[in-house]
Amino acid sequence: MQRYSGFGLLTHSFSHHEHWQKIWRNPSPKKHYDVIIVGGGGHGLATAYYLAKVHGVTNVAVVEKGYLGGGNTGRNTTIVRSNYLWDEAAHLYEHAMKLWEGLSQDLNYNVMFSQRGVLNLGHTLQDMRDIQRRVNANRLNGIDSEALDARQVQALVPHMDCSANTRYPVLGASWQPRAGVARHDAVAWGYARAADALGVDLLQQTEVMGMMIEQGVVKGVKTHRYGDIHADRVGCVVAGNSSVLAQMAGFDLPLESHPLQALVSEPIKPILDTVVMSNHVHGYVSQSDKGDLVIGAGIDGYTGYGQRGSYPTIEHTVQAIIELFPIFSRVRMNRQWGGIVDTCPDACPVISETPVENLYFNCGWGTGGFKATPGSGHVFAASLAKGVMHPLAKPFSMFRFHSGALVDEHGAAGVAH
């Protein structure tokens, strides 16, 4: 059976998903939890896992409206890197990178983390200046990063057209050798299995429809399936639906929800053993272990919740990829899909307390949160366990939009906004 419903790179059937549902306990919700996590994507599941594993907080429920990993976690193109410009972001993403490096062992589950390196191409003099600046900043933070010229890029990617004759000639790139890819759904399953084994309740097919708030303090969530579920603390980790949850709690977030699209080709023999990204021409490509070319776009310009994308954006991306790799022009597309990403004005996340006491949000990862999954879960778990924001999370407070202390990472965002 091959019914495809957005699970990205690797072809899955629902029977595989049903198999996992049988393996997990099928808990009935308790009346009261220490912590409720809303959203069973990678970040929510990682948060639950580290709450139980690191902080001994096991009276935890993850409440997911669909199935685990069925949101952006299962729709993303799996690029992992930590080459961000500003200290605040670089420290957070590098924290995640270090956790990635031991994640399969930690979860006893192969997340297929492959450090095959990531290239961010430069096509103009200004691109190259920005790349040089970011590489220097990375190195000052102890993050592996190099600026390459076109000749060095060509040596790494022999099939890419690095000649001077193209519309947007490749002038060089930033190169992070420790960056790479991982298997997205394995990350969700690995965290879910490990959290479940530690006693976390995973409540699927359970949509949060409202917040229970008394005198400015959250008391739990209202669900369509199990009614009211009480908790001391609630953490919302719902990506593109974050504004909807915030509205339930009575405040606004500085987020826009946009479609972000990707596609995979038919599987072909190994041809590309690294990741190539270009913000300038709006496209990026890698090759999965199964052989598919994994190609992604910039965000669609309009807002929406449709989990699908528009034709012009994806056509534009395919044109860009074919211009970079004329050799791919005859490869056929296998599947295309979209997710809904939640973008902040400074292209950085929100990991934050909120105007409601004991209610926390972790969102705004936009086009780039997969790579952060372990680090985000780790720092959010510490914040929820202690009721005090983790030092790495503090710069990402939602209140930075009041103070003006933004962390502008547009230059390091992997795809065009």
Which residues of the shown chain bind ligand PYC in the complex (CB under 6 A)?
77, 79, 81, 284, 296, 367-368, 414-415
* Closer Cβ to ligand PYC, 79 or 245, answer by number: 79
> Exposed/middle/buried for 346, CB within 10 Å: 0-12, 13-18, 19+?
buried
* Closer Cβ to ligand FAD, 172 or 364, answer by number: 364
Tell me which residue of 200, 189, 197 sits closest to 29, measured CA to CA: 200
101 binds, among ligand FAD, ligand PYC, none (CB under 5 to 8 A by kind): none
**Alpha-carbon torsion angle 293, 294, 295, 297, nearest 10:** 180
* Closer Cβ to ligand PYC, 51 or 415, answer by number: 415
Q: How far is CA 92 from CA 89, 141, 336, 341, in A?
A: 5, 11, 31, 19
Q: Smallest distance from the beta carbon of 282 to ligand FAD, in angstroms? A: 13
* Closer Cβ to ligand PYC, 17 or 91, answer by number: 91
239 binds, among ligand PYC, ligand FAD, none (CB under 5 to 8 A by kind): ligand FAD
Where does this chain bind ligand FAD (CB under 6 A)?
38-44, 63-66, 70-73, 75-79, 207-208, 237-239, 241, 260-262, 296, 339, 341, 365, 367-371
Q: How far is CA 20 from CA 13, 40, 186, 253, in A?
A: 12, 14, 11, 34
* Closer Cβ to ligand PYC, 53 or 81, answer by number: 81
Q: Smallest distance from the beta carbon of 97 to ligand PYC, in angstroms? A: 12
Q: Smallest distance from the beta carbon of 289 to ligand PYC, in angstroms? A: 18
Q: Smallest distance from the beta carbon of 332 to ligand PYC, in angstroms? A: 22
43 binds, among ligand PYC, ligand FAD, none (CB under 5 to 8 A by kind): ligand FAD
Q: Smallest distance from the beta carbon of 172 to ligand PYC, in angstroms? A: 18
39 binds, among ligand FAD, ligand PYC, none (CB under 5 to 8 A by kind): ligand FAD
341 binds, among ligand PYC, ligand FAD, none (CB under 5 to 8 A by kind): ligand FAD
* Closer Cβ to ligand FAD, 29 or 70, answer by number: 70
Q: Smallest distance from the beta carbon of 83 to ligand PYC, in angstroms? A: 9
* Closer Cβ to ligand FAD, 128 or 294, answer by number: 294
Q: Smallest distance from the beta carbon of 296 to ligand FAD, in angstroms? A: 5
SS3 letters across the chain: CCCCCCCCCCCCCHHHHHHHHHHCCCCCCCCEEEEEEECCCHHHHHHHHHHHHHHCCCCEEEECCCCCCCCHHHCCCCEECCCCCCHHHHHHHHHHHHHHCCHHHHHCCCCCCECCCEEEEECCHHHHHHHHHHHHHHHHCCCCCEEEEHHHHHHHCCCCCCCCCCCCCCCEEEEECCCEECCHHHHHHHHHHHHHHCCCEEECCCCEEEEEEECCEEEEEEECCCEEEEEEEEEECCHHHHHHHHHHHCCCCCCEEEEEEEEEECCCCCCCCCEEEECCCCEEEEECCCCCEEEEEEECCCCCCCCCCCHHHHHHHHHHHHHHCHHHCCCCEEEEEEEEEEECCCCCCEEEECCCECEEEEECEHHHCHHHHHHHHHHHHHHHHHCCCCCCCHHHCCCHHHHCCCCCCCCCCCCCC
Q: Smallest distance from the beta carbon of 163 to ligand FAD, in angstroms? A: 28
238 binds, among ligand FAD, ligand PYC, none (CB under 5 to 8 A by kind): ligand FAD
44 binds, among ligand PYC, ligand FAD, none (CB under 5 to 8 A by kind): ligand FAD
Cα(389)–Cα(393) distance, rounded to whole angstroms?
6
265 binds, among ligand FAD, ligand PYC, none (CB under 5 to 8 A by kind): none
Q: Smallest distance from the beta carbon of 250 to ligand FAD, in angstroms? A: 15
Q: Which residue has the CB atom at the shortest distance from ligand PYC?
A: 414
75 binds, among ligand FAD, ligand PYC, none (CB under 5 to 8 A by kind): ligand FAD
416 binds, among ligand FAD, ligand PYC, none (CB under 5 to 8 A by kind): none
Q: Smallest distance from the beta carbon of 104 to ligand PYC, in angstroms? A: 20
